[in-house]
Structure 1
């Protein structure tokens, strides 16, 4: 199989491209845009050398089969917090009651895989007990921002009739609003219990953990009649690893090291629109 090496960053020097062409044995350099270059006929056996060079040069890269096209895919599954959006919603909710440091510490440990996700979520939500439900809308209005390139990525996926599933260990309050705002096809997340207008400190129903994310991916994939190879999954934390393992292509977006080492591709320096060149040539 022939491969192209996709190189992406805000700025890529000509010298870096020439060096990468040498390292990867590519025979031609094509400019896709000022931030994206395609090195034709690259040897994937050079992955380690290319990865080392790109790490130092702050470049994102990926070896992409030359025959791959966006039409090969039918579903993109994505995490929400710190992937589709730039914040961790629960940390920002916690800031409303002055417990953000405590909650953020648990969040980080869970993302690194040091604490079971369900346990971590239960502990974090308990710290929110008594908060007025209006705080959720404040977080959405005042703090929630899409990750750079999100809308461009979603627009291209729609253009190629690729369905989207937003599956989150976060909360339905945010996934449902993002679904309406962005035209996402499917969403799944946790529901915060609210009693008399205040958060009770509990989650309703079964927690959407790593296994639940995987189950949602496989359920939607089966409904759409797709093979695993037709699915792309992206995330940033240990809670995303199981679902990413079920996809033909997995993308670690500004992710923890444990996720980067197990993903098909890692994007550390670019926005979500950097997903597009990894799907092949339109």
Structure 2
């Protein structure tokens, strides 16, 4: 097994200490902020050391190759994007505090996503469609490393997909901007250019995200084991469970406990560093 160490500032002292702790026989530089400690002998103490030094770590199989995968699927808000889009709409509508409180409860798994989205969308009743465009143009920010991750994934032959419990207003634009292959999300009901406070059709929630992933796998003729999925909240758990490799990105504890790997300090480009390229 190999140990991948990543961080915003990985020092030689930490690398040597971790190599000794893990019984690694070689330290290999993967990128400016990522290193591979090869052929480790044990894992005890690694988690505590990395938590104390704010480093991300992952114990990986030596033959974990990026080119063995065919699809990378990402949650949108607080994963591919560094914002919660619905919270930003609510900020313009002066209901951000109420919406953010519901969002947080959902991310922690305290209420169902369907109930949460219904409540949050109701608080946006009356918002003009121009406000959504304003959020997209002025507040939409990609998570650090997102474009690097996508470029390298595409170069390796992977298809790209965003699966969001948010809304198609944003996923459609992001899909075009980043040239993603697939995008799935919920749809606002709009009347006379204003949000009615309702969601059209069946809400795409926890189960729906996994179903959307499955449908794309069937369309591409690939197995679930050929999928890398990335998410941060309880609503992503079924989607993550349906993938061959799941990655908790700056995620809630319940997600980190169930994901294959967790990234808490580096950006999305850290996803690529987990694999042989």
**Aligned-pair distance for 1:241?**
0.5
Q: Distance in 2 between matches of 1:114 and 1:80?
A: 20
CA contact (8 A) 2:55 2:265 kept: yes
Residue in structure 1 matching 2:151, options 137, 148, 155: 155
Any idea what the Cα deviations from partners look like across 1:28-68, whole Å, max 9, x if unmatched? 1112233111101024x51x521111111100111121112
- Secondary structure at 1:82's aligned position in 2? helix
Deviation track 1:189-241 (CA, whole Å, cap 9, x = no partner) reads 00001101111000001111000000011111122222222111110000000
Question: Are 1:141 and 2:137 matched, yes or no?
Answer: yes
**In the alignment, is residue 281 of structure 1 matched against residue 276 of structure 2?**
yes
Which SS does the other structure have where 1:130 is aligned? coil
CA contact (8 A) 2:31 2:273 kept: no
Aligned twin of 1:227: 223
Q: Contact (CA 8 Å) 1:166, 1:187: kept in 2 or not?
A: yes
Q: What residue in structure 2 maps to residue 185 of structure 1?
A: 181
**What's the counterpart of residue 199 of structure 2?**
203
1:12 counterpart = 2:10: yes
2:104 to 103, 108, 130: 108
Matched residue SS, 1:98: coil
What TM-score do the two structures reach when normalised by structure 1?
0.96
* Deviation (angstroms), 1:81: 0.1
Secondary structure of residue in 1 paired with 2:147: helix
Secondary structure, aligned partner of 2:173: helix
User: Structure 2 unaligned runs (5+)?
Assistant: none
Say which is worse superposed, 20-29 or 167-176, in terms of deviation.
20-29
List structure 1 runs of 4+ shifted beyond 6 angstroms: none
CA distance in 2, matches of 1:231, 1:173: 26
Q: Distance in 2 between matches of 1:266 and 1:281?
A: 17
Q: Aligned partners of 2:107, 2:45: CA distance in 1, in Å?
A: 28
SS at match of 1:208: coil
State how far apart, in whole Å, the 1-side matches of 2:91 and 2:245 are: 35
Q: How far apart in 1 are the matches of 2:40 and 2:241?
A: 25
SS in 1 for 2:187: strand
Contact 1:75 1:163 in 2 (8 A): yes
Contact 1:11 1:34 in 2 (8 A): no
- Equivalent pairs, count: 277
1:254 positional shift: 0.5
Q: CA RMSD in A?
A: 0.9
The TM-score, its normalising length taken from structure 2, stands at 0.98
Q: Is the 8 A contact 2:209 2:236 kept in 1?
A: yes
| Cα distance in 1 for residues equivalent to 2:12 and 2:213 | 40
62, 68, 73: which one aligns with 1:77: 73
Deviations 1:122-168 (A, max 9, x none): 00000110111110000001111000000000001110110111000
Deviation at 1:281, TM superposition (A): 1.6
SS of residue paired to 2:57: strand
Please say if residues 247 and 259 of structure 2, whose CA atoms lie closer than 8 Å, have aligned partners that are also in contact: yes
Indicate the residue corresponding to 2:61 in structure 1: 65
Task: Show structure 1 runs of 5+ residues with no match.
Answer: none
* Higher mean C-alpha displacement, 93-102 vs 28-37: 28-37
Q: Secondary structure at the match of 1:42?
A: coil
